[in-house]
Structure 1
Amino acid sequence: MSFTPEEVAAGQAIYTPKLLSIYDLFVLGLSNRFIWRCPTPRQLAHYDRLVSGNHLDVGVGTGYFLDRCMFPKETPRVALMDLNQNPLDFAARRLARYKPETYVRNVLETIPFEGEGFDSVGVNYLLHCLPGDMTGKARCFDSLLPLMKPGAVIFGATLLQDGVERNAAARALMNFYNSKGVFSNKRDSLGALALELEKRFSDVSIEVVGCGALFSGRL
């Protein structure tokens, strides 16, 4: 399955500097708690359990979780990857104390990369913004595998439509976001997520919290 540049860009184009300035309040503060019912503290705890001192974050948002999480070392290697320069710039400023590496890349294609691999990769709230069904979205895992060291962990959260409970507000907001191209998760299910992770990783874990799935898998 191939995607047009417009399809790939749609899920991340919304992240303008203006939107990023209110993202933490609206998405992480309000939507996660009251609409998705997948509270930000639960997602932060997920980071705390799995993040390494040699970490790549993909689809970086505002860098909130990397700013707040507990790295296992005082001077971690932090790398940021996104198709949109705006989130990269925003997160890099927030995380300046770590001197982060930044990469503009499309994770649905082969990723040009010549550096050292990573021990952990975060893909928080990335999958539901990628186009296609879960089989197509899972190409991002294939693209990221060469950047992961043996034994590395990939983890994140995604919002699903099937296999989770959604309240009326969640159904309405998801429909709206899908109509605008911000989300592309109409066919995203818990079973499909598990299948794609288990094809590629061992020690797969998925925890359903509200209409979100907190997942991880290891090489």
Structure 2
Amino acid sequence: MPTDLTTIPRSATAYSGVNLRLYDAFVLHFTSPRAWGCSLSDLTEMYRRHGTDDHAEIGVGSGHFVTEQTRHIDWAALSLIDPNPDALRFVSRRVSHPAVREHVGDILDRATLPTRRFKSVAANYVLHCLAPGSDVRRTAVRNLANLTADEGVMFGATVLGAEAEHNRLGRALLRRLNHMGTFGNLGDTERALLGHLSSSFRQVEIERRRTVLLFAASEPIR
């Protein structure tokens, strides 16, 4: 039965049907390196460094990275967390591992998220899809910290907003995606995002790939 897309956040409605099958080609192989300046290998390296066999994937996209990880990891637990059931079903079929659990959840609503904690939590290209506002991002990061085990790590990447040095393609896409509601990141800055991460984790590492902020955070503050 088709999903009623009016019941999920606007930014998540794009991850259905044919868009999921085109995601790798358009986002990971074209938009990320050419518009934002972050290569697929940059993103893959984060999973190599920080991913574990007890993992939660937030905002699952096409499932490219957890599918690749399946070649190297025998999952003890792999929770896929997304407000869009279509994306969850697509990625679950793609990964095809008995440890996979689908969880319809909203990163801004702790009551919809799993009650257990994970050794690794990935929020890759998620924060820039949230509605605009510092409070929204602060809530999201706090909820990510709540999902992260005391000895675990939360990691990911996000596209920065209008203050970043976007190229012509990046600026055009930034305006268009924010106008559509797919992104809500025009006001996102490295300093603000670092502040949100540092308010919920004792240890935070960040790196820049032109207009993308890569982050890894550990020792969640309870």
Same fold (TM over 0.5): yes
**Could you tell me which residue of structure 1 aligns to residue 167 of structure 2?**
167
Aligned pair in 2 of structure 1 residues 134, 72: CA closer, same or farther (>3 Å)?
Answer: farther
Name the aligned partner's letter for residue 122 of structure 1. A
Name the aligned partner's letter for residue 156 of structure 1. G
Aligned pair in 2 of structure 1 residues 33, 115: CA closer, same or farther (>3 Å)?
Answer: same
Question: Is the aligned partner of 1:134 residue 2:134?
Answer: yes
CA contact (8 A) 2:59 2:81 kept: yes
Aligned pairs for 1:2-151 (under 5 A) are 9-69=9-69, 73-112=73-112, 116-151=116-151
SS class of match (2:182): coil
Aligned pair in 2 of structure 1 residues 130, 8: CA closer, same or farther (>3 Å)?
Answer: farther
Aligned-pair RMSD on alpha carbons? 2.2
Deviation at residue 8 of structure 1 after TM alignment? 6.9
Deviation at residue 17 of structure 1 after TM alignment? 1.3
CA contact (8 A) 2:20 2:61 kept: yes
CA contact (8 A) 2:204 2:215 kept: yes
Distance in 1, matches of 2:170 and 2:71, equals: 32
Deviation at residue 199 of structure 1 after TM alignment? 0.8
Unaligned stretches of 5+ residues in structure 2 = 1-5
Name the aligned partner's letter for residue 41 of structure 1. S
Distance in 1, matches of 2:26 and 2:163, equals: 25
Name the aligned partner's letter for residue 84 of structure 1. N
How many percent of aligned residue pairs carry the same amino acid?
A: 29
Distance in 2, matches of 1:159 and 1:190, equals: 10
**Could you tell me which residue of structure 2 aligns to residue 3 of structure 1?**
none
Deviates more, 1:141-150 or 1:125-134: 141-150
CA contact (8 A) 2:145 2:154 kept: no
Distance in 2, matches of 1:96 and 1:124, equals: 21
Please list every run of at least 4 consecutive aligned residues from structure 1 whose deviation after the TM superposition is greater than 6 angstroms.
Answer: none
- Post-superposition Cα deviations, 1:8-66, rounded to whole Å, max 9, x if no partner, equal 71111111111101111011111112111111111000111001110001000011011
Name the aligned partner's letter for residue 144 of structure 2. L
Aligned pairs for 1:203-218 (under 5 A) are 203-218=203-218
Name the aligned partner's letter for residue 136 of structure 2. G
Name the aligned partner's letter for residue 154 of structure 1. M
Deviation at residue 210 of structure 1 after TM alignment? 1.9
Distance in 1, matches of 2:128 and 2:151, equals: 26
CA contact (8 A) 1:82 1:103 kept: yes
SS class of match (1:123): strand
- Post-superposition Cα deviations, 1:178-205, rounded to whole Å, max 9, x if no partner, equal 0110100011011000000011112201
**Could you tell me which residue of structure 1 aligns to residue 176 of structure 2?**
176
CA contact (8 A) 1:44 1:69 kept: no
CA contact (8 A) 1:51 1:71 kept: no
CA contact (8 A) 1:56 1:121 kept: yes
Question: Is the aligned partner of 1:158 residue 2:155?
Answer: no
Distance in 2, matches of 1:114 and 1:58, equals: 11
Distance in 1, matches of 2:87 and 2:212, equals: 22
Distance in 2, matches of 1:173 and 1:113, equals: 31
Unaligned stretches of 5+ residues in structure 1 = 1-5
